[in-house]
Chain A
Amino acid sequence: MTWINDYPEHACVLAKFFADSMLLNPTEVWLDSPTQPQHNKYKVQLIVVWNNQGKQALV
Chain B
Amino acid sequence: MWDSSRGQNIRDKAIFITDTVNPQADIPPTWKCEIWVRDVDLLKPGYNKDSEGEPKIPEHITCQAACAYDIYGKCTGMLSLERLNILLHAYNQSERIGLHSTTQPPVQDTATEIVGLLQMYKLQMSSLNNIGKKAKDSNMYCTPRHIMTSLPKRALVTKQKFASPLDFDPSYQAYWSENTGDTVFGASTNAFDTKFTGFSFCHPNYCDYLLHSLVGHALQSTNSLKKLQQHSYSSLIGLVGVRTGT
Contact = CB atoms under 8 A, between A and B. Distances in A.
B152 interface: no
A51 B233 contact: yes
Interface residues of B, number: 55
A49 B221 CA distance: 10
Interface in A9-59: 10-11, 14, 22-31, 33-36, 38, 40-58
Given A24-B141, A43-B244, A29 B47 contact: no
Interface stretch (B29-37, B98-106, B178-186, B235-243): B235-243
Interface residues of A, number: 41
B130 interface: no
Interface of A: 1-2, 4, 7, 10-11, 14, 22-31, 33-36, 38, 40-58
Given A23-B144, A25-B141, 5 more contacts: A27-B142, A28-B82, A51-B234, A52-B226, A54-B234
Interface of B: 42-45, 47, 61, 63, 65, 77-80, 82-83, 118, 121-122, 125, 134, 137-138, 140-145, 155-156, 166-167, 199, 215, 218-219, 222-223, 225-226, 230-244, 246
